[in-house]
Amino acid sequence: MNVLLVEDHNVVREGIHLLLETGDGVKVIGEASSLSDALASDADPDVVLADLVLGDADGSEVVEALRKRFPEARILVLTMVDNPTDIRRAFGAGADGYLLKDAAGEDLIEAVHRVAAGESYLHPSLGVSLAQTAGSGSGSRVGTHEVLSPRETQVLRLLAIGHTNAEIAETLGVAVRTIEAHRASLQSKLGIKTRAEIVRYASRVGLVELTANG
């Protein structure tokens, strides 16, 4: 898969470039040190890997501009910004994945592959804080899922973000069979069966804010 790398620190960009090309089938076809450079690029990437903080733009503005310029590409954010509000805004602006720069190299390669395959990606370390704060704002639509226990609600959010049962179990420090039980219970209570239904339900009640193509 072809990747356009958008990062304003030269040394960091060079390191990420080298790391990416250790991944099977990953090729960096372009680099940009600013949003304006990225928008002017004639690259045709499958994935745009971009920081949220650039010299000429920051936050969801970066994602919005990249989504408009590269409508067919998947947008993966790699940043030091770990605020849940900024994470939700990035997804709302069109991001398909989000992880931090202190993630392991294999996590970055996995994230690139997963978003390129059409999945949404959020590193488990971020998933916990996002799940814990989702729906806490004054404009939240949360309320119709009150039949669920707090842990079932947390599992629902993490499933909707895109995590597997095993990933959720590792993140929450419980056995996989415990997550399977929570999942079966919440699906029974809500009358939903598939992951797609989980995502639609969680989005509808305001537990997650993912893009329609994420």
Residue 37's pLDDT is what?
A: 94
Same domain, 101 and 137: no
Same domain, 14 and 118: yes
| pLDDT tens for each residue of 112-156 | 998 898 887 877 767 655 555 554 443 333 333 446 777 888 888
The model's pTM is: 0.65
Residues of the chain with pLDDT under 50: 135-146, 211-214
Same domain, 85 and 156: no
Residue 20's pLDDT is what?
A: 92
Structural domain boundaries, residue 10: 2-122
Same domain, 104 and 153: no
Residue 141's pLDDT is what?
A: 35
Same domain, 38 and 134: no
SS3 labels along the chain: CEEEEECCCHHHHHHHHHHHCCCCCCEEEEEECCHHHHHHCCCCCCEEEECCEECCEECHHHHHHHHHHCCCCEEEEEECCCCHHHHHHHHHHCCCEEEECCCCHHHHHHHHHHHHCCCCEECHHHHHHHHHHCCCCCCCCCCCCCCCCHHHHHHHHHHHHCCCHHHHHHHHCCCHHHHHHHHHHHHHHHCCCCHHHHHHHHHHCCCCCCCCCC
Residue 138's pLDDT is what?
A: 35
Residue 210 belongs to some domain of the structure: no
Residue 108's pLDDT is what?
A: 92
